[in-house]
Amino acid sequence: MRRAALLAALLLAAAPARALEAAAAKVDITPDLASERVWLAGFGAKGRRPSGVHDPLYARLVLLREGNTTIALAGFDLLGLYLNDTEALRRAWSGGEPGRVLFVHATHQHSGPDTLGLWGRLPGVSGINKAYQERIMDRVVQALRLLETQLRPATLAGGKGSLDPRGLCADSRDPQVIDPNLAVLRVKARDGKAIATIVNWSCHPEVIGRDNNLITADYPGPLCSRIEEKTGGACLFLNGAIGGLMTPDVTEENFYETARIGHAVADAALALPVSAGGSKLAYRAARPLVPVENSRYLLFLRSLTGGHDLKTADGKAIPAWKAPLYSVRHLLLGTKAAQRPYVETEVGVLDLGPARLLGMPAEVFPELAIGGYDGKYSYGKPVVDPKGPERDLKSAPKGPYLRDLIKAPVPMLVGLANDELGYLVPAYDFKVRTSKSLLPRWPGHYEETNSIGPSATAILTDAAAKLLNEKR
Q: Are 364 and 412 in contact (CB under 8 A)?
A: no
Cα dist from 29 to 78, 134, 312, 341, whole Å: 9, 11, 36, 34
The per-residue pLDDT for range 442-471, each reduced to its tens digit, is: 999 999 999 999 999 999 999 999 999 987
Q: Are 246 and 369 in contact (CB under 8 A)?
A: no
The pLDDT mean for the chain works out to: 94
pLDDT for 363 equals 98
Q: Are 216 and 261 in contact (CB under 8 A)?
A: no
Question: What mean pLDDT comes out for the span 178-189?
Answer: 98
In angstroms, the CA 269 to CA 293 distance is: 39
In angstroms, the CA 141 to CA 31 distance is: 17
CA atoms within 13 A on the CB side of 297: 24
Helices (H), 149-244: 220-231
The per-residue pLDDT for range 43-82, each reduced to its tens digit, is: 988 999 999 999 999 999 999 999 999 999 999 999 999 9
Q: How much is the CA Rg of the chain, to the nearest whole Å? A: 22
E strands within 202-325?
Answer: 214-215, 234-239, 246-248, 275-276, 281-286, 289-291, 310-311
**For residue 217, what is the DSSP state?**
-
The per-residue pLDDT for range 399-435, each reduced to its tens digit, is: 999 999 999 999 999 999 999 999 999 999 999 999 9
pLDDT for 17 equals 52
Looking at the DSSP bridge assignments, the partners of residue 236 are 198
**For residue 18, what is the DSSP state?**
P
Query: When comparing pLDDT for 273 and 320, which is higher?
Result: 273
Report the range of poorest mean pLDDT among 195-204, 299-308, 353-362: 299-308
DSSP string, 22-61: EEEEEEE----TTT----B-SSSSS-B---EESS--EEEE
pLDDT for 305 equals 75
**For residue 324, what is the DSSP state?**
H
* Nearest in space to 389 (alpha carbons), one of 332, 442, 336: 442
pLDDT for 179 equals 98
pLDDT for 303 equals 74
Percentage of residues in the chain having pLDDT higher than 90: 91
Helices (H), 334-454: 366-370, 402-405
pLDDT exceeds cutoff 60 at 171: yes
Give the number of other Cβ atoms within 10 Å of residue 455's Cβ.
17
DSSP string, 108-138: --SSSB--SS--SSSTTS----HHHHHHHHH
| Torsions phi, psi for 377 (to 5 deg) | -120, 30
In angstroms, the CA 354 to CA 362 distance is: 24
H/E element holding 154? Answer: strand 152-162
pLDDT for 306 equals 79
Q: Are 127 and 118 in contact (CB under 8 A)?
A: yes
Looking at the DSSP bridge assignments, the partners of residue 407 are none
Q: What angle do CA 281, 265, 411 make, to 5 degrees?
A: 30
pLDDT for 472 equals 64
Question: What mean pLDDT comes out for the span 172-198?
Answer: 97
In angstroms, the CA 291 to CA 454 distance is: 9
pLDDT exceeds cutoff 70 at 131: yes
In angstroms, the CA 315 to CA 308 distance is: 13
pLDDT band for 13, please (50, 70, 90 cuts).
very low
Q: What is the pTM of this model?
A: 0.95
In angstroms, the CA 113 to CA 56 distance is: 12
CA atoms within 13 A on the CB side of 287: 9
Domain residue spans in the chain?
A: 21-285+346-427, 289-344
Q: Are 176 and 379 in contact (CB under 8 A)?
A: yes
Percentage of residues in the chain having pLDDT higher than 70: 96
pLDDT for 3 equals 53
Amino acid making up residue 148: E
Strands laid side by side in the 281-286 sheet: 281-286, 347-352, 355-359, 410-414
In angstroms, the CA 116 to CA 416 distance is: 12
The per-residue pLDDT for range 206-215, each reduced to its tens digit, is: 999 999 999 9
